[in-house]
Structure 1
Amino acid sequence: MSNQSSVILTDKDLAKRRRHRNFMEDLSAFWFLLPIIACFVVLLFVPLMQTLYFSFTDFDGLSFDVNMVGFKNYQKVFSDSSILQGLGFTLAYAVLTTLLVTVIAIPLAVQLNKRFLGRNFARSLFFFLSVPSAAVLGMIWKFIFSPLKSGLINSILSAVGLDPIPWLSNSRLAQFCVIFVAVWAQIGWHATLYLAFLQSIPSDLYEQAQVDGASPMQQFVHITLPQLVPGIVTSTFLLMSGGLKVYDLPFTLTKGGPGYATNTVSQAIITRGIGMNEYGIASALSVLFAIAMLIVTFAQLGISQAIAKRFE
């Protein structure tokens, strides 16, 4: 009996020691995560709560006399044509840049993965396109797409006897220019991302497919694309999230014009809040935009997971 009781006590002691060890490991992990948690609270959670509060007030950023106005700021957001136009362009920009960059970057990565003379130079050249900041690219392309005769493209057209084109002074052409520059600037970086995934695909798969008589298109559809699914998920997530919060490129290229044709949600938030001292409306727009970003992000993750399971 004494032996049995000592065994039971020993088991209890081991269980207590195990729980104590787990608790100490959790405590150590908490201390490591504490700086990150503090940064999250100070830099994200507190400003988010302040924005939510200001969205129900008439705060102008200057006066301390703040009055509650309920949902009036949200009503103004949905009734303001300039904000709605900026929302429409932001969605169009995010969707089109994601689709176009993906469609172009994957075949480009496939070509850059092949052996040819000057392959390393070509890889570096395409990657260099994404090195300058979007603001710098916007100022450079603003000169290229200038609607004046002094613009680079229009000067070439004038030299061959053609009329200048109002690139940035026409609403549709300005939207085209912004999306074109965004796609041009991001293709190289995302092609490099896909190239990294292509180099991890075992060459045995292609060799076996060639033995079985598969054509290059069949190899691309049945081998390359399924293996690129993780890269596509990462690339499209970055493109979509970056496109929804874009500000620098449209602002430096067109200032949001002509009119509000290339205005974005981020630009509308900054203009209303800082430029016009309408912090209440800007806060309401920020809250709605944050909710929309969460919905789009979770929807995209769900779609990506479904596609990944489809190719497993």
Structure 2
Amino acid sequence: MGKALYYSFTDWNGYQADAKFVGLKNFKTLFHDPSVGQSVVVSLIFVFVSVVFINIFAVLFAVLLRKASTWTGLYRSVFFMPIVISPVAVAFIWRSMYSYDGLFNYMLNMLHITSQHPGWLTDSKLALLSVIIVNIWRSTGFHMVIILAALTTIPKELYEASEIDGCSPWQKFKFVTYPLLMPGLTLSVILSTISSLKQYDLVAVLTDGGPVNATKVLSIKIIQDAFRYNQSGYASAISFILLFGILAVTILQHMILKKREVEY
């Protein structure tokens, strides 16, 4: 990190020994670079949609699988399995399903929804959503485990008391489960935000930032500038902007969500 910080103040091209010190030039340039602005917007959309749905599904599945039964262990394993698989392998599997004659277009034709073959990864209007879906599918199981761990800390006596008071299942969730779930949910939201902001593997294999930069998140922008265009000094500057952006977002999330936590 120290060397990266040093190179962010140079014009280092990534392979020559000499690097000319340019001061704040890289940082000034990136704030006026439209491609950086576009990558920030794409990253924010990617993060917002991913974090919202990852945590909604994580809470939903955790609540459904909270009670132990014959098949609960199997269901938990099935939901957790995607996070164990290499993200590169996951991306190749989904890229195959998204292909012109892949599973999704086959299902659309079989169900007579459409005779056309949508370009899931080649259409600029669909590509980002397609990548987000893969990220949600892969990450939900991990965050479900976090929520399940938080659910186990809630005393059963509180649910028994709510039943005596005549609470409906929704009221139990709203007034008992949700408030006491906030510590686990805070952790889940922060971790899902960090992982989504620095997501690279899935995007690189699925689209490599295309089509027409529709999925070019900041991590893709950094890698391409450093290794494809030999602008390692400039890429280092962008990487530190990403670092401080992640710090700012996570601190803000922690401050906001921490206020919603309750004690019993």
- State if a TM-score over 0.5 links the two structures: yes
Question: What do you get for the CA RMSD once the two structures are aligned?
Answer: 1.9
Aligned to 2:255: 302
1:185 aligns to 2:129 (yes or no): no
Which residue number in structure 2 is paired with residue 245 of structure 1? 198
Task: Kindly indicate whether residue 34 of structure 2 is the aligned counterpart of residue 81 of structure 1.
Answer: yes
Matched, 1:211 2:186: no
For the residue of structure 2 that corresponds to 1:239, the secondary structure is: helix
SS for the counterpart of 1:307 is: coil
- Match 1:142 to one of 79, 90, 95: 95
Normalized per residue, which structure has more helix? 1
Match for 2:240: what amino acid?
V
Distance in 2 (CA, whole Å) between partners of 1:159 and 1:227 is 45
| C-alpha distance 82-120 of structure 1, shift in aligned 2 (>3 A) | same
Partner of 2:23: 70
Structure 1 runs (4+) greater than 6 angstroms displaced: none
Distance (whole Å) between structure 1 residues aligned to residue 18 and residue 154 of structure 2? 63
CA distance in 2 between partners of 1:127 and 1:65 (Å): 47
CA distance in 2, matches of 1:54, 1:129: 37
Note the 1:1-312 alignment, pairs <5 A.
47-48=1-2, 50-146=3-99, 148=100, 150-159=101-110, 162-308=115-261
Q: Tell me how far 1:182 sits from its aligned partner.
A: 0.8
The one-letter amino acid of 1:299's match is: L
Higher alpha-carbon Rg: 1
In 2, Cα distance between the equivalents of 1:119 and 1:159? 32
What is the alpha-carbon distance in structure 1 between the residues aligned to residue 111 and residue 245 of structure 2?
Answer: 48
The residue aligned with 1:42 is none
| Structure 1 residues not aligned, in runs of 5+ | 1-46
Q: CA deviation at 1:263?
A: 1.1
| Cα distance in 2, alignment partners of residues 135 and 177 from structure 1 | 16
Once residues 103 and 27 of structure 2 are traced to their aligned partners in structure 1, the CA distance between those partners, rounded to angstroms, is: 43
Structure with higher RCO (Cα < 8 A, 6+ apart): 2
CA offsets 1:155-179 (integer angstroms, 9 cap, x no match): 3334456111111111121101111
Identity fraction in percent: 35
Give, as a single letter, the amino acid of the residue that structure 2 aligns with 1:154.
N
Q: Is the 2:66–2:151 Cα contact (8 Å) retained in structure 1?
A: yes
- What TM-score results when the alignment is normalised by the length of structure 2? 0.92
1:223 to partner: Cα distance: 0.7
